[in-house]
Structure 1
Amino acid sequence: MSDLVWDDVSEFFDPDSMGRLPDVSVPGVSVEGWQGLLDLVVEKGWKHQYVEGAAELSLPRAEVVLARPVEAECPSLRVWPEDGVLAIFRFLHDEVIDFDVDLWELQGQERLDVLCGFFREIGRRLGRPVLMDPEGCEGHPILGFDVEADRVVLLMEP
């Protein structure tokens, strides 16, 4: 059974009104939370690519990435939980996991189910909510993984 029904949430997946790259976050984490995410990526066998500057490197430990000098370029981790669905993680803060998804890739019930499954996996592993805000509107989540409900829920009325 799907967490969300496409017909009920499709307007929140309109790139023209919501922004193409909504902001997704997992608040209240630590270096251990980041490591939990990295371990999950490997355990699930999700295709991924870790990049620092122009160099593609092996996936390091979270404490190594998060201890980089302030002036260093921010590394990114690209994760494909399924072909055609990309999440781009940026190691900006120790206490918040930030990533983007592309709404052009998330059209229809099948792709919505992939996104919900991805959020559930992350939220369950970390025991934290996974919140999606319209692009540039941090703090106004439209949907997210609810830890207590153990599913992705709508947080804003259509």
Structure 2
Amino acid sequence: MRRVGEPGQHGGVADLLWDDVKCFFDPDLMGSLPDVRVLDASVEDWQAILDLVVEKGWKCQYSEGETVLPVPRAEAVLSRPADAECPDLRVWPTADVLAIFRFHAADEVDFDVDLRELQGQERLDVFCDFLREIGRRLGKPVLMDPEGDDGHPVIGFDVEANRVVLLADPQVR
């Protein structure tokens, strides 16, 4: 069992330990699709994420409804008519972990992950790495709330700490 502060498989340090946070990754407790958000975002932040996906070489797929299209500029996506179908960007930081970004509004980066894909330390490390990459690029917190329970984050990237931290007490759940 690795402890916080010991090197992880990627040579880095584990931000969170599975045994400490597994309750927050229980689909029965949290909902299978928790909400992950960056508040006080901008069109530039959305574009920074699109650029990050390309730079990291993460597999991705942009679609509007059933139509798969090339990834546009963030400004083009976010200036669509209000009644247009909400586009999404599927990003795979690894082959078996998927994040789905939804372009609801320019001022909030919003994406879902499937907790059923995030079981165990290795997948948790992938998820933390993903949150950390986004948070560092934007210089903003990245928060994960239980599905449908915005405003009560349980974990998130902390800009000051420069790592993913617990934001709620696992014993309370």
Unaligned runs of 5+ in 1: none
* Cα RMSD for the two superposed structures: 0.4
Residue 86 in structure 1 maps to residue 98 in structure 2: yes
- Partner Cα separation in structure 2 for residue 110 and residue 154 of structure 1: 18
How many aligned positions are there? 158
Note the C-alpha offset of 1:29.
1.0
Note the C-alpha offset of 1:102.
0.3
AA aligned to 1:99 is F
Match of 2:153, SS state, is coil
Unaligned runs of 5+ in 2: 1-12
* Identity within the alignment, %: 70
Q: Deviations over 1:22-58 (max 9, x none)?
A: 0000111100000000000000000000001111000
Bigger Rg, which one: 2
Residue 61 in structure 1 maps to residue 73 in structure 2: yes
- Partner Cα separation in structure 2 for residue 6 and residue 54 of structure 1: 36
- Partner Cα separation in structure 2 for residue 53 and residue 68 of structure 1: 14
Residue 46 in structure 1 maps to residue 58 in structure 2: yes
AA aligned to 1:139 is G
Q: Deviations over 1:71-110 (max 9, x none)?
A: 1000000000001100000000110000000000000000
The corresponding residue for 1:127 is 139
The corresponding residue for 2:5 is none
The corresponding residue for 1:37 is 49
AA aligned to 1:79 is V
Residue 4 in structure 1 maps to residue 16 in structure 2: yes
TM-score of the superposed pair, with normalisation by structure 2? 0.91
Note the C-alpha offset of 1:144.
0.1
AA aligned to 1:92 is H
- Partner Cα separation in structure 2 for residue 84 and residue 132 of structure 1: 19
Match of 1:139, SS state, is coil
Residue 136 in structure 1 maps to residue 136 in structure 2: no
